[in-house]
Amino acid sequence: MFDRFIPTPSNSSIELGAITLHYYALCILVGIISALAIGRVRWVRAGGTASELYDLAIYVIPAGIIGGRVYHVLTTPELYFGARGRFGDAFKIWEGGMGIWGAVALGTLVAYLYFQNRPRSLTFGQAVDALAPGLLIAQAIGRWGNWFNHELFGGPSTLPWALKIPLADRPVGFENFSTFHPTFLYESLWCLLCAGIILYLPRVRRLQTGDTFLLYVALYCLGRAWIETLRIDRAHLIIGLRLNVWVAIICGIVSASCIYIRESSRSKDQA
């Protein structure tokens, strides 16, 4: 009987002459392009000007990349600071290490400031609502970068879709296991499902301005909190839970509560 598993790529980059293309970076790039393509359709449909979206992207995309990297560095300082840390590695984004929380937080802040500058064709709330599903698609694509880098997988698994990890990339204590939960795949599929809910669920279209973006955060956090508990890479624990589990729980509860309060208030006003 044949063993079934997802193989890991033999290379994480490709050489094109003097240029090295890292697949992790390419996944992020393809994700950004996809988010812009989907966002443009929804942006224009909401009454916005397409050129304004690209103008916003000039500020938000670098902010998202910087925010994601800063979050990763600050939450794993032992890798970059101190006697055993290598500060120069903090700038090697292609090696992996992007915290979606930091990317969304700084990107959203920069977008908010952009809309405070002068009148725009859309409000801030309309803009982030338009971009929400595209962000999920970008995250779904970006997660495949972890597959190319042989990183951030879950605990041992014998499921048919388990991920086979080379011995050199297995964490200490797991050397005798060869296949693990492909958490990159779980999160990618979850992001696609959430994007589908936002794009096609009729109820979402009736939400107040800004609530679609909050729904994006709440839905993502719901899946991420579970997926994070499967992972076996090193992480800081708070009361027995990984830091990112706490972040997902807190952000998810806050986002869902905001939606509930706003929608309840609207229902009372209409009564």
**pLDDT, the chain, mean:** 91
Q: Is it the case that residue 105 has pLDDT exceeding 60?
A: yes
Q: Is it the case that residue 1 has pLDDT exceeding 50?
A: no
pLDDT (tens digit per residue) in 122-137: 999 999 999 999 999 9
**Nearby residues of 172 by Cβ (< 8 Å), 6 or more positions away:** none
Average pLDDT over residues 148-167: 94
pLDDT (tens digit per residue) in 245-256: 999 999 999 999
Q: Is it the case that residue 271 has pLDDT exceeding 60?
A: no
User: What phi and psi values does residue 164 have, to the nearest 5 degrees?
Assistant: -85, 125
Is there a contact between 205 and 215 (Cβ–Cβ < 8 Å)?
A: no
pLDDT (tens digit per residue) in 40-80: 999 999 999 999 999 999 999 999 999 999 998 888 888 78
Average pLDDT over residues 239-243: 94
* One-character DSSP codes across 80-136: TSSSS--GGGGG-GGGS---HHHHHHHHHHHHHHHHHHS--SS-HHHHHHHHHHHHH
- Residue 6's pLDDT is 92
**Nearby residues of 71 by Cβ (< 8 Å), 6 or more positions away:** 99, 101, 102, 103, 105
Average pLDDT over residues 237-249: 94
- Residue 269's pLDDT is 65
- Residue 202's pLDDT is 87
Q: How far apart are CA 68 and CA 46, in angstroms?
A: 28
DSSP state of 210: T
Is there a contact between 255 and 249 (Cβ–Cβ < 8 Å)?
A: no
Q: Is it the case that residue 138 has pLDDT exceeding 70?
A: yes
The model's confidence at residue 263, banded by pLDDT at 50, 70 and 90, is confident
Place of tokens 């979402």: 204
Q: Is it the case that residue 106 has pLDDT exceeding 90?
A: yes
- Residue 270's pLDDT is 65
Question: pTM for the complete prediction?
Answer: 0.91
User: Which of the two residues, 17 and 83, has the higher pLDDT score?
Assistant: 17
